[in-house]
Structure 1
């Protein structure tokens, strides 16, 4: 039986999602809580997006395969039991039997992140310091939106990713837009089929340089076309970033979507 779990966490006290020896991670904490709640020796989780150290999530999705069926009553009680075991910076929102072919990682259509910046003194809130970046200069969101347009679509984002051996950096950026949210923060909504390591934070760092006037609007296209890391692009701090949502297709399209995603991206065609 495959179990789908939806959860949220404050990434401040974690060294990211993925298990690392001797470090506190979301994966290790949740796997341990599940093993305790289900009375099994070990649970292995697969997530939709491996968030970095300090990055938060409201809409993370994971799955795990269990050898035996979980009784319906036990499944209904599972979120409450898990939240009783976990520390308060991780909350399980829902547990349910996943439909046939569901894969939290490979079945996903897209992931949506938000990056929030307080770029004026009156916006700085000490209660939000763990989830909003404080920036000392006002940002021109019109310029940032203009610079974002050339980044949309299917590209090799090598200029904005930390390279991993054997991993492709070709991605499809579906949306990247800046606006003022209800608190007045400069807020970026970033949507893609998938993200490579540090991609969102590098995109934000590039656009901040444009928004504060240190770089021209055309700089984002120049960086993209170079297809190599540029030391002039600063990777924005992790704490301003939140994984908000992961979207999946209809149940009868899950297997096809997973097959498409597993096919290695080798070209921009």
Structure 2
């Protein structure tokens, strides 16, 4: 049977999501925890909505796991708790403090945590006043020395929205497309004075969000005009002037899925190779 698991984590002390020999990863920790509570002989294989890099956080991550139905049914033991409630409680008992499972449920038919997703929403936090930086937010906020023009950054960011080849902002992988639909990219100053970016897309390629942020920070600093990020996008190749921003400012906030009866169709659509019209 397939389980949908909603979770969050502080990515500071992890070498990213993906399991790697000899390294502490989110996938590795969760896979072992599931195997422990289900009494499985081997680590449980996981599929995740967004494979976050080392140091990146998540509040709204989603994954799925295919498990033995009998093992899941045994989770409540002698209690009268439902298996999904027992699963959350048991996982909380074995997971480290920097990983939290919010919800476990039997997944609807056709659900795939990665391919069924309609969109992912990320947030990036930048403090542009070092004297006002909150030391308690140092793990999720990047501090820069110079004051930034958030209006210029927001205008530049919005010029990148749409269906494009984002090769200029991605690390290429053999055989993988860099065509994505950027649904929203905006900046605003939050109540605590920190600049926050909201970045939403159907999917992201490796380092894309941090490069998108890195393309508009120089605009906010006054080093490039508002139209420069769009110029970089049209160039279609990585520009060394675009800085890939630090990982710790980034957090996966939300993954959105279609209604249950559209999950399988969405997964088939997402697996197809993306191309630009014409």
Fold in common (TM above 0.5): yes
Matches within 5 A, 1:197-216: 197-216=206-225
Q: TM-score, normalised by structure 1?
A: 0.98
| Cα displacement (A) at 1:148 | 1.2
Matched residues in 2 for 1:213 and 1:6: separation?
A: 40
Q: Secondary structure at the match of 1:96?
A: strand
Alignment partner of 1:232: what SS? Answer: coil
> Secondary structure of 2:69's partner?
coil
**Structure 2 counterpart of 1:132:** 141
Matched, 1:52 2:53: yes
Deviation of 1:75 (Å): 2.7
Is the CA contact 1:156–1:268 (under 8 Å) kept in the aligned structure 2?
A: no
Q: Which residue of 1 aligns with 2:11?
A: 11
Q: Is the 8 A contact 2:163 2:276 kept in 1?
A: no
The answer to whether the 8 Å contact 2:122/2:254 transfers is: yes
Stretches of 4+ moved more than 6 A in 1?
A: none
**Structure 2: which 5+ residue stretches go unaligned?**
74-80
What is the Cα deviation at residue 267 of structure 1?
Answer: 2.8
TM-score by length of structure 2 reads: 0.95
CA shift for structure 1 position 225? 0.3
Q: Secondary structure at the match of 2:82?
A: helix
Superposed displacement of residue 218, structure 1: 1.2
What's the counterpart of residue 34 of structure 1?
34
CA contact (8 A) 2:59 2:252 kept: yes
Decide which of 157, 162, 165 is 1:148's aligned counterpart.
157
Structure 1 residue runs of 5 or longer lacking an equivalent are: none
Question: Following TM superposition, by how much is the alpha carbon of 1:242 offset from its aligned partner in structure 2, in angstroms?
Answer: 0.3
Superposed CA offset, 1:174-199 (max 9, x none): 00000011211100000000000000
Residue 68 of structure 1 deviates from its aligned partner by 2.2
Partner of 1:63: 64
Distance (Å, rounded) in 1 between the aligned partners of 2:212 and 2:153: 11
- For residue 181 of structure 2, give the secondary structure of its aligned residue in structure 1: strand
Q: Name the SS for the 1:267 alignment partner.
A: coil
User: Partners in 1 of 2:185 and 2:170 — Cα distance?
Assistant: 16
1:188-227 matches, cutoff 5 A = 188-227=197-236
Would you say 1:159 and 2:160 are equivalent positions? no
